[in-house]
Every structure is written in C-alpha cells, then in structure tokens.
Amino acid sequence: MKNVKHAQCTRCGRTVPAVPDLTACPCGGIFDIIYDYAYIKTALTKDVLARRQERSMWRCREFLPVEEDTVLPPLRVGWSPLYEAGELAKELGLRQLWVKDDGLNPTASLKDRASAMAVAKAREAGARVIACSSTGNAASSLAGNAAAAGLETYIFVPSRAPKGKVAQLMTFGATVVSVQGSYEDTFALSRAAISRWGWYNRNAAINPYLSEGKKTVSLEIMEQLGWVVPDYIAVSVGDGCTIAGVWKGLKDLYAVGFISRLPRLISAQAEGCCPLNRAVEAGEPWRPMEENTLADSIAVGVPRNADKALSAIRESGGLTVNVSDAEIMAAQKLLGRTCGVFGEPAGVAATAGVKKLAEQGKLPHDASVVSIVTGNGLKDVANAIAACGEPITIPGSMDRLLDAFAARGIAP
C-alpha cells in the first residue's frame, strides 16, 4: 500500500507493519493506521475526485488501507444520501441541518462500511472464513458482505439474540452458533474458535481496519457538502468505533488540505448507558455501566473502542449529550415526519441529541449541523409500534370519518 506507512498502537505508541490480519497490540491497545499524506496529496485532488463515476465507500481509495490490486467486495456500500433538512432545522431553531441516512446501506446500517473493509482485508490475508461475535448490525453486515464475496462466516450470538436478527444471518448463509450464556461467554467461545481455526477476525475490539471503513462516512459528507465544513457532526455512540471513524475521516481530509478546519463532534449516548460521555464530562477514565436503553445498537456498557472514541471527542472539542428512551422515540417520529427518514432507535439518538442541545441553548442558532442516522428503522419495528400510537379506527362510513376527524381537530 503506497498510501499507508504503518500501524501504531493508540495506547503504547508502538509501530508495526500494517499486515492484513493485524489484531490488537500486545499491550491491549488498538492500532491506528498511519497514512503518508504527502503521497496522497500527489495522488488525489478534488478535481480528480469530482470526475469519478464510482459511488460507493471505495470512491476515495487513496484514503483507504487496501492494496492497489485488492478485488473489492461486491455489495454497494456507502455513498448514502445526505439530505438537507430544512423543516427540521426550522423546528429545532438551527440555521442549517443535514441528515445522512446510512440506513440505506445493503444490510441497512453504517456497519456495512466496516464489514466491507473486513472482507477486503480478509481477501488480502488469503482467508476463506471470517468470524465475529455480535447480536446486531455487525453480524448481519458481515454475513451479507461476506456472502456476496463468496466467503464463509461463523457468527457467535448469545442465545437471547432476537430471532429476527438470527433469521437475517441464516438467510445470508452464515453458520450461527447460539451460545447459552452471557455475551462474555459468547465472545470467549468465538475467540477460542477463531484462534483454533485461524479464521479472519472481525471484532471491533481487535481489528484496526474497521474504523477505516467507517471513516468513509465523513469523506462522503464533506464531498456532498462541497467541502464546506459544518460546525458540528452528531453521531450516536456505543462501542466507540463509529465516532472514532468519523473523526479519522475528517482528520484525513484536513491533513491533505481538502478541508480548512475541523468540525466539532457531538457524541450522543443513551442516558441509561453512557460510559464514554460520562468520562468526558467528568474528565476521568471511563468506567463500565449497565445497559439500560431500548436503543440496542448503542447499549454498550463496556465500550471496546474507548481509547479512540475518547480521543476523538476530546480532540474535536466535542459536545456530549445523553438522551432518554422517550427522547429517542420522539426523535424517530420527528425525523420520519420532517424528513421521510425512518431510523432505528440507536440510529436516531444523534438527532435526539441535537434537538436536546438546541433546546438547552448549547448549540448556537447560527450553527450548521450534520446528524448521522446509523441504522434503518425496519431493523426494530417493535419499538416503533410501541411509540407510534394508534391509528384512527372506524367502520367504512363517511359519517364516521367526519366524526373522527372532528373529534381530533383534523381539518383536511
């Protein structure tokens, strides 16, 4: 890779070659991929980029840690739409607001960006099999992206995993091992199996390439905005890998001069599970928390990418905001009604956070904000049903319809 220098541990600073099957540092830290920005500057300009036809996360391959001859995985991940949300901005009292709908990825979440990167690196490593432990979007995105690339997957889930998510995995042909025990038991068995059979490891706690895949969301946002930097980018935070990726992409663009300043991040967590935000707010190391939120994709009491995530929030001069489940579900309806975007609870937590910060006066009225929706509402219809209320239910009669409208103050 001409554009990559090496990998460097975010904890102890040790540098190692960026081999495709790189895992965590012996010290326990996660590696960061270090680029040769001088080379990238010579290889890519904004004009060159503007003329490209490619519309996927692989559009700016110069910023990505893949070999020049790597055959990229087939599913079309990335280049999700960025909508200007004028009505929503007005309701929140903000100057400008955009919504990036990453629920439109092939398996319906931002995690596809990480999984597609894992598949590309697994191919480089010569692996036939990829494995991970997860109950959620990481698992389904890995299963889908690997299936399309002709790779086998072994997915370890705790037996409490929702049947719908297991069904999606099995539809993609994954071998699913449901472990009767805790998530820690599940993770331990997956680690033992990965070690025993030498499978390629797609666990965000270990694989340094995943956040490099996720950073493509920032590359896209900035190009879609015509390189005009917003004041804030808001993202929901669980494990920490996504916000770390968002920040990495921005720093990459800044390093090569594609943008002239850096936005501030908004880290939105659930009130019932906010170990990273609590650490930032208290200026202390993070400590585990219980996982009391219905936003399952960010219910992470022991975040695996805490180091990278905390650095990202702090370096950017970021804001933190913790939202209740009620605020999350209200944001789901708000986004749906004003933007036609249906996000899963974890996916709309960032929007809930932006609303809360705006109401608290912590966002200036002239602020411009991008809010990332990280997953599709169809992933979790049960919570939407609980939140949406009841429709008008009547027999098929115009008189009854008129009565019902009148009773509700509806004047068509």
Q: Which of residues 263-322 bind a second copy (CB under 8 A)?
A: none
Check the CA dihedral 141-6-306-217 and report its sign.
negative
Contacts (CB under 8 A) with a second copy, residues 175-194? 175-181, 185-186, 188-189, 192-193
From 10, 134, 135, 168, residue interacting with a second copy (rule: CB under 8 A) = 168
Could you give the C-alpha distances from 48 to 44, 54, 60, 216, 257, in angstroms and in order? 6, 12, 10, 17, 15
Closest approach, Cβ 77 to a second copy, in A, equals 10
Angle, vertex CA 156, rays to CA 235 and CA 183, nearest 5: 65
Closest approach, Cβ 381 to a second copy, in A, equals 4
Instruction: Compute φ and ψ for 246, nearest 5 degrees.
Output: -55, -45
Closest approach, Cβ 81 to a second copy, in A, equals 4
Closest approach, Cβ 379 to a second copy, in A, equals 7
Judge whether 57 and 113 are in contact, CB under 8 Å: yes
For residue 343, list its beta bridge partners: 376
Is 260 near a second copy (CB under 8 A)? no
Q: Rounded to a whole number, what is the distance in angstroms from the first to the last CA of the chain?
A: 61
Q: Locate tokens 């920032």: which residue? A: 218
Buried b (16+ CB within 10 A) or exposed e, 64-90: bbbeeebebbebbbbbbebbebeebbe
Closest approach, Cβ 9 to a second copy, in A, equals 30
- Beta carbon nearer to a second copy, 1 or 129: 129
Is 371 near a second copy (CB under 8 A)? no
> What is residue 132's three-state secondary structure?
strand
- Beta carbon nearer to a second copy, 163 or 261: 163
Is 171 near a second copy (CB under 8 A)? yes
Contacts (CB under 8 A) with a second copy, residues 326-345? 332-333, 336-342
- Beta carbon nearer to a second copy, 31 or 98: 98
Is 104 near a second copy (CB under 8 A)? yes
Is 96 near a second copy (CB under 8 A)? no
Spatial strand order in the sheet of 368-373:
82-84, 96-101, 368-373, 232-236, 264-270, 319-323
Is 407 near a second copy (CB under 8 A)? no
Q: Where are the beta strands (DSSP E) in 324-377?
A: 368-373
From 63, 98, 199, 209, residue interacting with a second copy (rule: CB under 8 A) = 199
From 17, 126, 285, 412, residue interacting with a second copy (rule: CB under 8 A) = 412
- Number of residues this chain uses to bind a second copy (CB under 8 A): 83
From 71, 167, 282, 326, residue interacting with a second copy (rule: CB under 8 A) = 167
Closest approach, Cβ 322 to a second copy, in A, equals 23
Is 98 near a second copy (CB under 8 A)? no
- Distance in angstroms (rounded) separating the CA atoms of residues 205 and 273: 18
Is 384 near a second copy (CB under 8 A)? yes
- Beta carbon nearer to a second copy, 277 or 332: 332
- Beta carbon nearer to a second copy, 116 or 358: 116
Closest approach, Cβ 192 to a second copy, in A, equals 5
From 29, 106, 303, 345, residue interacting with a second copy (rule: CB under 8 A) = 106
The string of DSSP codes covering 264-306 is: EEEEEEETTB-HHHHHHHHTS---------S-GGG--SS-TTH
- Beta carbon nearer to a second copy, 87 or 281: 87
Tokens (6 digits) for 8: 């460097």
Contacts (CB under 8 A) with a second copy, residues 32-91? 55, 74-76, 79, 81, 83-84, 87
DSSP 42: H
- Beta carbon nearer to a second copy, 74 or 301: 74
Q: Which helix (H) or strand (E) holds 320?
A: strand 319-323
User: x/- contact string, 133-162, with a second copy (CB under 8 A)?
Assistant: ----------xxxxxxxx---x--x-x---
Spatial strand order in the sheet of 4-9:
15-16, 4-9, 31-35
